[in-house]
């Protein structure tokens, strides 16, 4: 009788785990693509530190794929969230001012 409920719970956990993994891998790849001097110009930690943080977050995301609400899953999403909400916009701003490495603001 409770079997469908457990199946639904496992499905939701797996979907959350995949979303967590995708977010952390995106943060890691994005941290890779920015230049080291952009991190300094944005007054953020070094590129190496952010690669370590986001890389560990991606590894944690892979480890907790089936249980994303564990302590390691929460640590992973917080680390990726800080990078994506604070560091990435600052890096994009620096690179757009310098005209290099960032995406063009032109629509074409």
**Beta-carbon count within 10 A of 75 CB:** 15
Q: What is the reported pLDDT for 104?
A: 47
What's the CA gap between 83 and 14, in Å, rounded? 24
Model confidence at 101, pLDDT cuts 50, 70, 90, reads low
Give yes or no for residue 2 having a pLDDT over 90: no
Sign of CA dihedral 73, 74, 79, 80: positive
pLDDT tens for residues 32-87? 999 999 999 999 999 999 999 999 999 999 999 999 999 999 999 999 999 999 99
- Please tell me the predicted confidence (pLDDT) of residue 107: 45
Residues 6+ apart with CB under 8 A from 101: 33, 34, 35, 38, 95
Rounded distance, CA 8 to CA 32, Å? 36
Residue 93 scores a pLDDT above 60: yes
Burial annotation 17-42 (CB, 10 A radius, 16+ → b, else e):
beebbebbbbbbebbeebbeebbebb
């Amino acid at each position: 009788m409770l079997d469908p409920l457990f199946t639904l719970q496992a499905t939701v956990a797996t979907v959350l785990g995949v979303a967590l993994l995708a977010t952390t891998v995106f943060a890691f790849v994005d941290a890779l693509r920015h230049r080291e001097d952009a991190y300094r110009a944005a007054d953020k930690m070094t590129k190496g530190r952010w690669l370590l943080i986001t890389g560990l977050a991606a590894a944690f995301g892979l480890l907790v794929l089936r249980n994303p609400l564990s302590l390691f899953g929460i640590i992973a999403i917080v680390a990726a969230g800080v990078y994506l909400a604070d560091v990435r916009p600052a890096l994009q701003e620096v690179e757009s001012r310098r005209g290099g490495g960032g995406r063009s603001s032109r629509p074409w």
